[in-house]
Structure 1
């Protein structure tokens, strides 16, 4: 099995070649993954606590699709550590699945390869129309002014999950609103022998999500107004250092979390080993690991000062999963019907309930299940204090290079090596040098 770092490096290398090798894409009649109109291959992203959980959630729905359309769906759940690299390999080889899930932040980058089916008005019409979907979700489906490269499937936002008993034992009456409050609470929590805040330090996607938010809170952007990377801007450097300092300086993230990449911090939280967790739509994940809903509370992610809101008080990226079709599928009708099925009101309610996410389909949001206290926090965050990651062609390279830089900085912190402004800038400079020319 390839290491996460190797996969990330491969993703960057492949992405740099994509414009030359895949701009034309395929067609609905050539180079696809299967030749049978009675089968589809589907790469699903790992949304649950494990791949086994995802299979348990998805297989009954795929069986329903087969019964309705007579098309069997061959399912593969792909871990997040491998997903981008697998997709990029498929775009260059032309041997991808028929349908796949993508992180919504990758939409513009994958759109630029030409490998995904564009969703113009006619294609959207086949699944009920573009106006069925929430505008904020559509905003992360590709570059502005172009037909979307994918369709929204699940909408999510980050929240702060906190263990009520650990808080009570430490004499903490309410969740922290600011990072200073969280660090102060951490001292009380550690005095009781518990870890404070979980993180996935070896997960490049988690890293980029958090440092993007920290950058917004520091009034910084990773890209300049003309779309060029500005990773070494002093405010960006300060923002990245502030996040890594939660381990290196403030000691609220355990050093062992530098090696976490696949839900280990969620597992620690569910087992009562740590007091807090920053996560996207975690309730279903926690439930599958045996943690009851009344054992934890949910609050907005902390900000630097004041309360979450627009501008500098951004506290989440606009998170979500899109569903896309490879342009060179041999079963375009089946693939389109599958997207229609997965975004139908009935399936949107089933799947988003299972994953504690928010349906991006407007008519499905009226279900009472999406008006719980947990979802109230997530919906309010998406509406008032979340920002989309840059929808630029080099976005996936940005995630990989900067996310890997943060991974290396966490490794330094865990090993006791100093994390300084200079060392953070050096890692970000290295990341910027790996970005493609504009």
Structure 2
């Protein structure tokens, strides 16, 4: 079901948030090393659309609207995902960065640990409309437990299993798979004549770690213990990763070439009928851009093993994009106004409609535009079957190392090499050895 409707924030309250005094978000005006003035802001946006140019087409009219309301001009740079984390880490180390930026929500705790991001304490939340406006699941991926969030949710997403209705019908399959075992069995029926049962993005480190985490939860694995120590090569983690690698390896239901996919090629394969299933975050806008009608596909939760119960029925990480403010911004007051604007109900409707994502703000999610079958399924997953990635300081290293380990294993499977439990364990152990000391 879609996010629960909530009482809208009064217009006066949002107007007040957009008319902050010079004290800024954090209770004081910062004079960091970023160049600028109280009438300018720099904003690094992540690539959410079909291209960097598409993002500019979506965002620039909205930034002009903000300038008209506040007198603050925003200089926009859309940063590709392949560069974004490294750019942010360089900025946190040097102190030279934008005023406001998008971050992958799973990076929140890692970037929070650098001390470079402005904490959203109760007073700061009050200035951007209030903490209670945001869906609880999205705030769980905004920083380490017990600490003030390092960012606020901007776009929310969850993984779903997209399936081609016509191809399913032609194969005599009348419903989406309800278990991982069914997914594999259906995939074998659908793999024929140069078409494969499922498409994956094996060269994409982030996609790999997202699936490793979700499948890990389904197998009862935690990649970190209660003390924050890595435990990447546990038997449950090994079983989870092997089940994913087997899609190319032992099960042969994903094309060997998928091991090299890293730029949304799997979405293209699904949209063009080269693959019958796809595990993806809010794919609707991308599928439409490829000419696929939404009537031609269905969306279901990514299935867990048949024996899974409780949290083992997790079908997605809590996916999404957060909006953060650099603590040393030259214009904290303007940055706070911009945060209030971007998370305001009307702007949330505009932006999430454009990107096919789910508003993390309750007073926007009740819009009928977010009641499509796709987004209803994903909203239900987000509310009931999603878990946040580990909110530990070394989370970004975990993503890189485990995602790369899975990439290496998929490449081996694609080359026809046997990938056994021992092979997976060795690769995950190597990733764990490269983790920084706790």
TM-score by length of 1: 0.91
The answer as to whether partners of 2:143 and 2:391 remain within 8 angstroms in 1 is yes
Aligned to 1:336: 336
Distance 1:271 1:52 in 2: 23
Q: Please say if 1:317 is aligned against 2:317.
A: yes
Aligned to 2:77: 76
Moved over 4 A (4+): none
Distance 1:69 1:286 in 2: 36
Instruction: Out of 121-130 and 152-161, give the one that drifted further.
Output: 121-130
Aligned to 1:28: 30
Structure 1 residue 339: Cα displacement: 0.8
Structure 1 residue 192: Cα displacement: 4.4
Distance 2:348 2:47 in 1: 17
Aligned to 1:237: 238
The answer as to whether partners of 2:29 and 2:332 remain within 8 angstroms in 1 is no
Structure 1 residue 378: Cα displacement: 0.9
Structure 1 residue 168: Cα displacement: 1.9
Distance 2:227 2:189 in 1: 46
The answer as to whether partners of 2:119 and 2:149 remain within 8 angstroms in 1 is yes
Distance 1:118 1:49 in 2: 31
Aligned to 1:226: 227
User: What's the CA shift string for 1:145-180, capped at 9, x where partnerless?
Assistant: 111100011111100111112222222211111122
Q: Please, which runs of 5 or more residues in structure 2 have no aligned partner? A: 1-27
Map 1:169-248 to 2 at 5 A. 169-248=170-249
Secondary structure at 1:201's aligned position in 2? coil
The answer as to whether partners of 2:157 and 2:378 remain within 8 angstroms in 1 is yes
Instruction: Out of 351-360 and 309-318, give the one that drifted further.
Output: 309-318
Aligned to 1:5: none
Secondary structure at 1:196's aligned position in 2? coil
TM-score by length of 2: 0.91
Instruction: Out of 62-71 and 318-327, give the one that drifted further.
Output: 62-71
The answer as to whether partners of 2:238 and 2:424 remain within 8 angstroms in 1 is yes
Aligned to 1:14: none
Aligned to 2:66: 65
Secondary structure at 2:426's aligned position in 1? helix
Structure 1 residue 27: Cα displacement: 8.0
The answer as to whether partners of 1:310 and 1:386 remain within 8 angstroms in 2 is no
Q: Please, which runs of 5 or more residues in structure 1 have no aligned partner? A: 1-25
Map 1:7-406 to 2 at 5 A. 28-32=30-34, 34-305=35-306, 310-406=310-406
Distance 2:119 2:292 in 1: 41
User: What's the CA shift string for 1:119-158, capped at 9, x where partnerless?
Assistant: 1122112111111111111111111111110001111110
The answer as to whether partners of 2:189 and 2:197 remain within 8 angstroms in 1 is no
Instruction: Out of 421-430 and 101-110, give the one that drifted further.
Output: 421-430
Distance 2:241 2:97 in 1: 35
Aligned to 2:8: none
Distance 2:340 2:80 in 1: 24
Aligned to 1:15: none
**Relative to 1, partners in 2 of residues 1:29 and 1:209: Cα closer, same or farther, differing over 3 Å?**
same
Aligned to 2:15: none
Secondary structure at 2:322's aligned position in 1? strand
User: What's the CA shift string for 1:51-83, capped at 9, x where partnerless?
Assistant: 222222212111211221222222222222221
Question: How large is the Cα RMSD of the aligned pairs?
Answer: 1.6
Aligned to 1:428: 428
Aligned to 2:410: 410
Aligned to 2:25: none
Secondary structure at 2:201's aligned position in 1? coil
Distance 2:196 2:65 in 1: 44
Structure 1 residue 341: Cα displacement: 0.6
Structure 1 residue 37: Cα displacement: 2.5
Aligned to 1:20: none
Structure 1 residue 292: Cα displacement: 1.2
The answer as to whether partners of 1:107 and 1:142 remain within 8 angstroms in 2 is yes
The answer as to whether partners of 1:189 and 1:275 remain within 8 angstroms in 2 is yes
